[in-house]
Amino acid sequence: MNTTLGREIEYLPQSRRRLLVGVALAGYPVAVAVLAGLKHTSLNRWLILALFLLLLMPTLATLIVGYRYARGRIDGRRARLDERDLALRQEAYALSHRVLTVILIAATAITEIYLTSGNTLQLDANTFWPAAIWVIVYLPALPSLMLAWIETDQPADA
Amino acid sequence: MPDSQRRVHNRLAVLRAERGLSRRQLADKLAINYQTIGYIERGDYNPSLELALTIAELFRLPIEAIFSLKPMTPLSEEIFRDPPAATS
């Protein structure tokens, strides 16, 4: 990633960063839901796959931007992390934990309601993989996304 | 800065300008990132006691001349508000 683009990402205003975080978090579940819906139609499988990948693009792009924004600070690799960086990192991890807790409780509650309503849930590749991919992708990305969410706009250079 | 945290007002921008220091130069002297200076000046980040004391030491001023819990008035106003008592 060239430095101009890197600098643009570094100086993204908070409102735009929050929009990107929203897209990153909602994009994958939406793509999976669309895929699940289209599977039962007569649409060509390649067309469904292409549509799924197209829907996945904004998620991937926003995840990369979120990672790039927090890179070095969230993973502690930057040579000099000062006290504000450390406080911000701590806050981002705490918020990630809260968000993850809400998502897991909501997912458990929805599954519980679904099962107690007389439905059955079959654990196969179709149900396991979307959940596994969510865990693999979002668990490491969540702290970066939360840092991008909480940090206020950078002061202009002076 | 968390909403629950009380804002600490400061004269950092004025002092920095007075000494002709850029944010980067001041940050280098304090071994912190230059963005942190901007966040402190804007009141978006309250420095730790250690950093506040280091800043006070750097400017050779008492800490209360730089940081305050109340909004700060211009230094000139403070100087002229309480004229020194006349000597006999």
A77 band by pLDDT with thresholds 50, 70 and 90: confident
Contact B35 A91 (CB under 8 A): no
Strand partners, B68: B9
What is the spatial distance between Cα A124 and Cα A152, in angstroms, rounded to a whole number?
43
Contact A84 B33 (CB under 8 A): yes
A78 band by pLDDT with thresholds 50, 70 and 90: confident
When mean pLDDT is compared across A13-22, A70-79, A105-114, the lowest value belongs to: A70-79
Give the other-Cβ count within 10 Å of A65's Cβ: 24
Contact A155 B39 (CB under 8 A): yes
For residue A57 the two structure tokens come to: 């693009």
For residue A132 the two structure tokens come to: 């596994």
Domain at B9-81, CATH homologous superfamily: lambda repressor-like DNA-binding domains (1.10.260.40)
Which of chain A's residues have a Cβ under 8 Å away from the Cβ of B23?
155, 157-158
H-type alpha helices, chain B? 12-18, 23-30, 34-42, 49-59, 63-66, 75-81
- Is there a contact between B21 and B82 (Cβ–Cβ < 8 Å)? no
Contact B33 A158 (CB under 8 A): no
Q: Is B22 on the interface with A (CB under 8 A)?
A: yes
Q: What global pTM score does this model have? A: 0.83
Binding-face residues of A in 68-127 toward B, CB within 8 A:
80, 82-85, 87, 91
For A15, B12, B42, the CA distances from A152, given in Å and listed in that order, are 9, 19, 11
- Whether the pLDDT of residue A70 is over 80: the answer is yes
% residues pLDDT > 70 (chain A): 97
Most confident of A35-49, A67-81, B6-20: B6-20
- Domain range summary for chain B, segments of one domain joined by +: 9-81
Contact A155 B42 (CB under 8 A): yes
- Whether the pLDDT of residue B88 is over 80: the answer is no
What is the spatial distance between Cα A148 and Cα A140, in angstroms, rounded to a whole number?
14
Comparing CB atoms, the residue among A80, A87, A156 nearest residue B33 is: A80
> pLDDT tens digits for A9-63?
888 999 999 999 999 999 999 999 888 888 888 888 899 889 889 999 999 999 9
ipTM of this complex: 0.77
